[in-house]
Every structure is written in structure tokens, then in C-alpha cells.
Amino acid sequence: MNKKLLWFLIAGLAISGCKSNINEINGKLINASKDEYVFLDELKGNELITVDSVRVSGDGSFSLTRKIGFPSFYLIKTDNSNFLTLLLEPGEKINLTAYGDSLNSPISLSGSKGSELMASYNLVLRNTIRKLSSLRDIYMQYLNKPELPLVVERLDSMAQSYMDEINLYTRNFIDENINSLASLVSLYQQVAPGEYVLDPQEDLDYFIKVDSSLWLLHPDYEPVKSLHGQVGELISVAAEQDSYSYIPLGMEKAPEIALPDPEGDTIKLSSTRGSVVLIDIWAAWCGPCRRENPNLVRLYDLYHDKGFQIYQVSIDKTRQAWLKGIKEDGLEKWIHVSDLKYWSSVVVPLYKIESIPANFLLDREGNIIASGLRGETLQIKLAEIFEN
């Protein structure tokens, strides 16, 4: 990924919702400098181009408008060291309050669900950074003292715990917001210069997941194109090093699954040949899985008569929880199987599952043609298959 583009994406966070193509940014800077100007930069290609500016009024307030036709990254700033990254969607009306010298840590940011969502992520990230910084303070207290080796060992353990927490939080954030360009930004967050929350090698599955989603929704948008190119390079390098056994989409048949259904009859995945099949890995205890189920019901009803089938694999612990989840979410229409072995299920290593929900879309010959599709991205892909 272009370094200038990467720097921009990790610079700050904020999002917004839509009714027309005219966007409004109404803000107030507390303790703003006299004759302060606010600038609005747009990301075009790999460049930031100033598209508007306004002088801050005596009480610190300002207002900017911009007509946009699709979700886009912008930067609002007073200078190159004091800025806030925005992800604007058509028709949003953003209200912002911040201290004049710290735009990147707004006091309040509202106007869309997305803005509040990204602000909440940034808050968790800043809290992690504060906790890591406090460890350095402890280290300095014990510098040149005999207890230092033991203290360092404990501090290393605590630091790793903090990093594991923010890594898991970021993964969950992506799972919950896979259709948003905000998921792209979260791939590149840092707790310190060069210390990324997600590692492109160790967390390659999430880079692939975000790419698979956003490439369907925004294939012509430069940051998405940049990610798509980066993911292709990462997969190639990993394949050469045998460090990631990635299944090439459309080039390899999905590994066979043969598990019992609720009645105890073994149902093979291969028995679905001839249908376009969604393998969906879920569990009744998985909140994001349950929230996605209504979308699966709707899409099944829409496309089943045209040849769409769902082969849903549960990694629940108990039969009771599994069947209760099926009944509560109204999922009785399609195929259900499970060995009820939780994370020890045979499908976990077979499909390299690291988190759920996880899914794989198969063509009529059983080849994997897409993965990690949820919500709108799954709808778009199925429409592409059945309506064209």
C-alpha cells in the first residue's frame, strides 16, 4: 500500500449516513487561535487535495459543505499536524466539537451511526495506548534497580495482554462492520509508530475478509483498489513461504464435510452439488451470527427456487442450544449439521476457521467462489449470480 495513503488512513477516525448528496460539517473549536482557518482535504488517488476552507468565527464555530456522490475519505484540519480523518457518505450532517489544538480527539462527534461507531473504536484504541504508556512509566521507576528483570517480565506479559485485547476488539469490529469502509481503516491502526494492531502476515485472514467485502461494494475507489493489490501481494508472498494455505477462490473444490443433522442423519456437503451453496459456520452463542441469520432467511426465500442452498454448520457445545437457536431464528428451511464439539469441531481446522461467523460461497460444481460475505455484500453477490 502506498505509504502516503497508509499514513492518511491511520491518521484519524470518523464516519457518517445519507439523504442527499450535500454534506454539512458544523463544528466548534474551543480555545481556537485568532483568525484560525479550517481546511477540508479530499483523498484523490494517493493525494490529499484541499477542496474548501473557512475562517473560524469569534466563538470558534465553523461550517463547511461538500457535494459527494459516494463514500469518500476526507481530512478536516487547521494545519498538517492537527487534523481529523472523516469518512463521508452522501447527505450526512456532522456536528463536531473539539479543542482547537486537538481535532483528532473530539469532545463530541455526531450526525451518523458510523461517526459514533468509529469514535467508539478510537476511544478503545486510545485507552490501550494509555495503558501501554503507563507500563513504560513503571519501567522507568525500576530502572537500575535489582528488581528490574522481574518487573520487565511482568510488564512484557501485561503488554502482550493489552495487545491481545485490542487485536480481538479490532477483529470483532471488522466482523460487525464488514460492509463499511471503516473496516479498511481499522486494518491499519497503530499503538505506536510501526506497532500495528493487526499484522498483515499473522492476521492475513482479516485483510482478505475486508478485501472480499469492499471489493464487491467499491471496486473503483482508490483505497479499496490499493488494499486489493496489497492483499494479492500478501497472499503470493505467503504462498511462496508456505506460511498461509489459502484456498484460491474458484480454483479448488470445498473440502468435504460429513456431519449429522438434528435427526442424526449424516449429510454430506457434496450432496448439494448442482446448487449454489453457502457454507455458514455459526453458533447459537455467537451474537454476530444471530444478527446475520435474518438476512440468510430473506436471501434463502428469495433465491432457493433458483438453486440456492444453505449448509449451516454449528460449533455449539450442546444439542439443546443448537436446536433452540435454529427454532428461535426460524432457520428450519435449510440444511443443519454439527458434531457439537465447539472449537474442536472438524470444520475448524478443515476450513481454517479463526472466528465466526464465517462462510464460503460455492458454485454448482462445489468450487469456492467467495468467502466472508455478509449483509449487503452477500445480497450483491447472489443477485449477480441469479439475476444476471
What pLDDT digit, counting tens, does each position of 82-91 carry? 988 888 888 8
Stretch 213-225: mean pLDDT, rounded?
A: 83
Residue 18: pLDDT over 50: no
- Tally of CB atoms within 10 A around 164: 10
pLDDT of residue 239: 60
Q: Is the dihedral of CA 303, 370, 182, 89 positive or negative?
A: negative
pLDDT tens, residue by residue, 188-197? 999 988 899 9
Instruction: Give residue 203's Cα distance to chain centre.
Output: 12
Left if phi > 0, otherwise alpha if psi is -120 to 50, otherwise beta: which for 375? left
Using 50, 70 and 90 to split pLDDT, how confident is the model at 248?
very low
Element at 126 (helix H, strand E) = helix 113-142
Helix 148-176 with 113-142: angle, nearest 10 deg: 170
Interatomic CA distance for residues 365 and 143, integer angstroms? 64
- pLDDT at site 187: 93
Terminal CA-to-CA distance of the chain, rounded, Å? Answer: 33
Domain borders along the chain are 3-104, 118-240, 258-386
What is the model's pLDDT at position 247?
47
> How far apart, in whole angstroms, are the C-alpha atoms of residue 54 and residue 94?
16
C-beta atoms surrounding 144 within 10 Å? 6
Please give the Cα distance from 73 to 351 (Å, whole number): 35
Amino acid 243: pLDDT: 47
For 49-86, what is each residue's pLDDT tens digit?
999 999 999 899 999 999 988 888 888 899 988 988 88
**Is 27:77 a contact under the CB 8 Å cutoff?**
no
**pTM reported for the whole predicted model:** 0.60
pLDDT at 321: 94
Q: What is the tens place of the pLDDT at every residue in 265-295?
A: 989 999 999 999 999 999 999 888 999 999 9
pLDDT value of position 246: 46
Cell numbers describing residue 40: 477540508
> How many angstroms separate the Cα of 129 from the Cα of each of 1, 163, 191, 196?
24, 10, 6, 12
Q: Pick from 173, 235, 179, 177: which is nearest to 207 by CA?
A: 235
> Which candidate, 243, 223, 217, 259, places its Cα nearest to that of 372?
217
The yes-or-no answer to whether 3-104 and 258-386 have a common fold is no
pLDDT of residue 71: 82
Q: Are 235 and 248 in contact (CB under 8 A)?
A: no
Q: Which CATH architecture has domain 258-386?
A: 3-Layer(aba) Sandwich (3.40)
What pLDDT shows up at residue 10?
47
Identify the architecture of domain 3-104 in CATH: Sandwich (2.60)
Q: What is the dihedral of CA 291, 293, 296, 297, to 10 degrees?
A: -120
Which grid cell sits at 208?
482478505
Residue 358 has pLDDT above 60, yes or no: yes
Q: How many CB atoms lie within 10 A of CB 309?
A: 18
Q: Is the peptide bond before 90 cis (omega within 30 degrees of 0)?
A: no
3-state secondary structure of 65: strand
Which residues does 263 contact at the CB level (< 8 Å), separation at least 6?
Answer: none
What pLDDT does residue 357 have? 87
Q: Give 339's contacts (C-beta < 8 A, 6+ positions apart).
A: 259, 260, 345, 346
- Nearby residues of 277 by Cβ (< 8 Å), 6 or more positions away: 269, 308, 309, 310, 311, 361, 362, 366
- Taking only the tens place, the pLDDT of each residue in 315-343 is 999 999 999 999 999 999 999 999 998 88
Please count the other Cβ atoms lying within 10 Å of the Cβ belonging to residue 363. 17
